[in-house]
Amino acid sequence: MLVSEKEKLCAEIAALAEQHGRDRSALIPILQDLQDREGWISDFAMQEIARLLDIHPVEVYSVISFYAFLNAEKKGHFIFRLCRTISCDMAGKDRIARQLENELGIKFGETTEDGHFSLEYTNCMGWCDQGPALMVNDQVFTKVTAQKVHDIVEACRRVWALYPTLGDAKTIELPGAMKIGGCGCKAGGNA
């Protein structure tokens, strides 16, 4: 990371600390806002947040590693998260997983070479009666079929072609999606 990039990131984190406060209760809002802007939270950012909030860096890392929607590594612009609970298993999750891998050309836990797509499993998203459930960034799709996977991937590709920046692409609602958010923890911890 270049010095000017570090300075810019420090200023961004300082502004978030001013907005949310400089105590431990501001940690998750700061992390969420930083992730929305940057797409991930670097080691340097974790150190700076810890310094500003006067907490140990391991506390920052432990929060990031617990919540599935906070990333300590770069992910794709579109993060596909497939629910892996028994309800989604019974509704055909494995078929959907294979379709996702085929459509994106990657395995679960990987990101495409162009940086557009990441594929991962997540724990229960709370849509057990409508599985298999899939989340793309913060948009949920239920009763997902192989054809729906194809349509979702193609919609993401079209959005990316029109809005090739992370912030713009994340704000576009995909056809058939339900937008969620607001609770801070979203869908729980990592697996």
Task: Give just the sign of the alpha carbon dihedral 9, 14, 18, 21.
Answer: positive
Chain segment 12-33, per-residue pLDDT in tens: 999 999 999 999 999 999 999 9
When mean pLDDT is compared across 77-81, 89-93, 119-123, 175-179, the lowest value belongs to 175-179
Chain segment 26-80, per-residue pLDDT in tens: 999 999 999 888 888 999 999 999 999 999 999 999 999 888 788 888 888 899 9
pLDDT of res. 171: 59
Beta-carbon contacts of 151 under 8 Å, excluding residues fewer than 6 positions away, are: 175, 176
Residue environment code for 45-58, b if the CB has 16+ CB neighbours within 10 A, otherwise e:
bbebbbebbeeeee
- Cα separations in angstroms, 143 against 34, 45, 149, 157, 178: 32, 38, 11, 21, 12
When mean pLDDT is compared across 5-9, 23-27, 124-128, the lowest value belongs to 124-128
Task: Locate 88 and state its tokens.
Answer: 């989604």
Mind giving me the DSSP string for 170-185? HHSPPTT-EE---SSS
CA distance 92 to 86: 10
Per the confidence metrics, is the pTM higher than 0.85? no
Please report, to the nearest 10 degrees, the dihedral formed by the alpha carbons of residues 179, 183, 185, 187 taken in order: -40
At residue 126, does pLDDT exceed 90? no
